[in-house]
Structure 1
Amino acid sequence: MTETIVLGLDGATWDVLDPLIEGGELPNIAAVRDEGYSGALESVYPPTSGPAWASMATGMNPGKTGVFYFLNRTDPDSFEFESMSSRDFEGRSFWDVLGREGKSTGVFNFPMLHPPYEMEGYMVSGFGAPKEEFTYPSDLAAELEVVAGEYEIKIPFSDPKYAGRPGELATTLLEHLDGREAVIDHLLTERRTDVFCGVVSVTDWMQHYYWKYADDRHVLHDPEGIDGESHYRELWRRVDDLVGTVHRIARERNATLLLISDHGFGPFDGTFYVNDWLEAEGFRVPAKQSKLGRARDLLFPHVRRIAEPVVERVPVLNDLATSVGRSMKPTPTETVDIDRSIACATDKGFIHMLSDDPADRERVVDALGGLFEDHDLEYEIFAPEDLYAGPAIDLAPDILYTIEDFEYALQANRSPTDEVLIERPPSPSRSGGHKRDGIFVVAGEGAASGSGARASLLDIAPTILYSQNVPIPTGMDGDVIKDAFEPAYRDDREIEFREYGIVEPSGGRGGDADAVREHLEDLGYV
């Protein structure tokens, strides 16, 4: 019954996979690629999992989805932020379109798709969801718990207890992958649907953590230090086994298999502390705080630096250190005087203008470019209209930029030093960061052969619909990857478009921003 299977490897990039394939370590991913049509898949901007998976599901750019990060504005005149939720997906994702056409979809471990909602098939929420409510139908949760042994939605890889312990983290992630493979196998076998779409998040987490071990050019790489690279390679081999299981099932079903990622990966060799720079330039004015608040704001950057070596030696202190850190950490919007400031950076590090004067924006852009030029850094600066199109464009940050092709992390929190540009990653557990080029392979039923192609992440939703011979909503920005299919397959179906109309989401406005921020802290994102 399952005719299309989509497996997402969060953050996978050919830059990492190609050398491993050439070394014979990933025979299953190699077999899928050799069997089908493959290439680079360009992500959205920024290449962050929240906006990327939303655009993958809807086929729309962030200017239409309104999703630019995990926390987003809903009113251009407000500086209040709400978390992503299933409301950002419901009614306009490919599985909703399939449901209207009488087709069923199994959605598994999809980031920020919470709370789960009623659909034709089943839904398992991924990152951002609480353990209490993460499946539709609700009884599916207990089923997954039995199959996986103990079902965990996320592994907090940046937790201080894993600092300097790549072997301990690898053990945890390998157990997690065992459970994921068991669940995916079970769902494909016991809960068959027309389309299955599952996401593996470990591939993202492990690249953040292990990059410094595997990349001998990384600023933190220590050839005489702890051997983390062997664990990294072991994890990729375990992911390859999982891909092999899915590939086997796809071949048994004569199904079309899409292997994709939401973005690529590369090193974090530096960090830019944006709000510190804005304050130094006079663009951002700190909010008036109590002595305790000022102390909290100034001391927090040093807490993790001091705590990690302690917890590394005394792991039992980990929960206490994590709790203290969370209680101390202010959010970027808590520490700014909005009425007196010209600009402010929020969690992702992009800049929002608090002044309506275009001349002020020009001043910030000129100063930003001057800073990077003074430090001989390559950079790009964008306005929202350079990157997006759609009714939600006025919710985007006003100044978006990259440093050294995403190799500098952008941080809104305080710098741990007196410098705003530091030649090291924001934390040892985030030595790797996201880049735009992910992967795609179309294999199995109807797939052509070939490699070296380029496609957009926005093309995945219309391509899935095309594989099911279902009309594509006129509001989707992506295109069908036609060249990925054999001529005989293309002759058997036409690309049709249809105006489906707007379906209002059934849930509330947004998710729990505090809970999502806590999830982001667990993964070291903020």
Structure 2
Amino acid sequence: MTDVIVLGLDGATWDVLDPLIKDGRLPNIERVKSNGPSGTLESTFPPITAPAWLSMATSQNPGKTGVFYFLNREDPDSFEFESVGSDKFHGQSFWDVLLARGYDVGVFNFPMLYPPYSLGENGFMVSGLGSPEDDTITTPNNLKSELDEVADGYEIKVPYADPKYRGRPGKLESDLQGIVEKRERAIEYLLTEKRPDVFFGVISATDWAQHYFWRYHDSSHPLYEADGDADYDDAIGRLWERVDETVGLVADIAEREDATLLLVSDHGFGPVNKTFHSNAWLESEGFRVPTEQSPVQKLRTNYFPYLRRFVEPVVTAIPQLNDLAKSVGKSIRGSPGEAVDWDRSIAFAPKQNLTCGMIYMLSDDPEDRKAVVNTLSELRDTDGNRLEVEVYSPEDLYDGSNVKLAPDILFTIDNFACAVDPRFSTDDEFVTTGPPSAARSGGHRMEGIYCASGPNIESGGSADKNLLDIAPTILYALDEPIPEVMDGNVLKDVFTDEALSERSERREPLENLVEANIGSTKRDTNAVEKQLEDLGYI
């Protein structure tokens, strides 16, 4: 019998869901929401897939996990970046505690959880975003072939930011609808045939759809065209209707099993109306000094944005050139860190900070950091209007032994409505109108969602929570001890009085609760970077 089911809806926000619920278009999400407590689930900072899902699984803030984006340092004295892999989860996640205590646990399509590792004889793990499209994404190994059969060819991702979808919203919508169908078939098979005690599955297509289709959905967006193709102004709504069918299937299974059901998201969503080009700005202020460059390097830095503008329409017209264009582009564009004069520069921005701003200081002088922060705080747009810039130190946001690995300066502009792009632009301005690319017209926000229902769950109620609370709440629901390292709180107010009387909250050292001798895993950072580029994350 399955006791707990958690369904992750990547990027879900009440800003999108509530109007659809009001219109009667999401009856199953409405059913779960009305049967128990619901509210906003605060994300990690930044509200990004990699740190957020990891922190949800481990209930550890990024200062402990050392994960602040998709690529992270492992040494505070180095600017070598590594991708996130399953070694960050292994031995730290709630499912590792349950495994050690005899539970059969199933984890499905969980982002950055690659390579998968064993969850015991009857458990299973299916890696999600950050995994290759091959047969190495499951444990047990033969589960991949089973998923291929039930899903008519299982797939990891739809690369919505790939140039092949530029100007082809209909093709993208069809592919997103298709991958949700595959996810649903896989989830139904795993829940009904494998029947784990605890199941945590993630649907990612909701995130990809909102990135791409926000400009069709939001009439106030800079890229919205009032006289444009109206067929796609409801593409987000249609995808959510399809996902609602999956929620209904899962909710029905939860009811049959008398299981606790949680719907959660890793972050929320909203428009991206502007773009701030961080490295160009740092250079203009004298904080970042470029190296002396060869003609090829100058081409990379100065002319790649123009080349990208020229090539993308060509690829749109001739999709067969897509792979060649991506290969050539990768070979010539370089990365923002390659052209930095490390000795003369004070600061630089890494290549992956599209949601919030990240700056690494190359100077140890506190006055230099103060100068960067003060100048950044005075930032204005092209019309001279002061931008809403919020600047943070790592110590403001995190605690733990890995705070030292965080960027030295983190910031948001206009509450994430202005993206921060380290790449150089064809525009002379540092703040430009519109998103970094049309495929990222929507962006992440801090406010995700949660709903809870089940026989041990109170009916109704609403309160804001934190995603760090999910893992300890799952353990508490099963009356199991909670690792002391977990930062989150048990959501006791979601349980009935009877359920509370039958459980006790107990905290114990992590090493007492998980299996010892956990090995390390090998990650292919280059392969992960390619996938992240296809999804527009770096």
- Within the alignment, does 1:246 sit opposite 2:259 as a pair? no
Give the superposed CA RMSD. 1.4
Check the 8 A contact 2:336/2:349 in 1, yes or no: yes
Structure 2 counterpart of 1:397, from 400, 407, 410? 407
| Residue correspondence of structure 1 range 272-421 to structure 2 within 5 A | 272-346=276-350, 347-348=352-353, 349-372=357-380, 375-421=385-431
Check the 8 A contact 1:61/1:477 in 2, yes or no: yes
User: In the alignment, what sits opposite 2:159?
Assistant: 156
Pairwise CA distance, 1:240: 0.6
Pairwise CA distance, 1:309: 2.2
- Within the alignment, does 1:257 sit opposite 2:261 as a pair? yes
Check the 8 A contact 2:39/2:463 in 1, yes or no: yes
Query: Any gaps of 5 or more consecutive residues in structure 1?
Result: none
CA distance in 1, matches of 2:323, 2:76: 38
User: In the alignment, what sits opposite 2:525?
Assistant: 513
Structure 2 counterpart of 1:180, from 146, 169, 183? 183
Matching residue's letter, 1:442: A
User: In the alignment, what sits opposite 1:442?
Assistant: 452
Superposed CA offset, 1:12-71 (max 9, x none): 000100000001111110011011110000001000000000100000100000000010
CA distance in 1, matches of 2:137, 2:421: 30
Check the 8 A contact 1:372/1:379 in 2, yes or no: no
CA distance in 2, matches of 1:515, 1:300: 22
CA distance in 1, matches of 2:287, 2:412: 20
Matching residue's letter, 1:215: D
Superposed CA offset, 1:370-426 (max 9, x none): 124853211210000000000000000010010001001111111221111111100
Identity, in percent, stands at 54
Check the 8 A contact 2:378/2:386 in 1, yes or no: no
Matching residue's letter, 1:445: P
- Within the alignment, does 1:472 sit opposite 2:482 as a pair? yes
Check the 8 A contact 2:299/2:332 in 1, yes or no: no
CA distance in 1, matches of 2:48, 2:235: 25
Superposed CA offset, 1:477-525 (max 9, x none): 00011111111111111111111228564123x6222112111110112
Give the secondary structure class of the aligned counterpart of 2:510. coil
Structure 2 counterpart of 1:144, from 136, 140, 147? 147
The worse-fitting range, judged by mean Cα deviation, of 192-201 and 411-420 is: 411-420
User: In the alignment, what sits opposite 2:20?
Assistant: 20
CA distance in 2, matches of 1:115, 1:126: 10
CA distance in 2, matches of 1:304, 1:285: 24
CA distance in 2, matches of 1:465, 1:225: 50
Check the 8 A contact 2:393/2:409 in 1, yes or no: yes
Pairwise CA distance, 1:226: 1.4
Q: How many residues align?
A: 525
Pairwise CA distance, 1:306: 2.0
**Normalised by the size of structure 1, how large is the TM-score?**
0.97
User: In the alignment, what sits opposite 2:168?
Assistant: 165
Give the secondary structure class of the aligned counterpart of 1:6. strand
CA distance in 2, matches of 1:468, 1:520: 36
Give the secondary structure class of the aligned counterpart of 2:209. helix
**Normalised by the size of structure 2, how large is the TM-score?**
0.95
Check the 8 A contact 2:349/2:358 in 1, yes or no: yes
Superposed CA offset, 1:404-459 (max 9, x none): 01001111111221111111100000000000000001111211122431000100
CA distance in 2, matches of 1:522, 1:320: 14
Matching residue's letter, 1:101: R
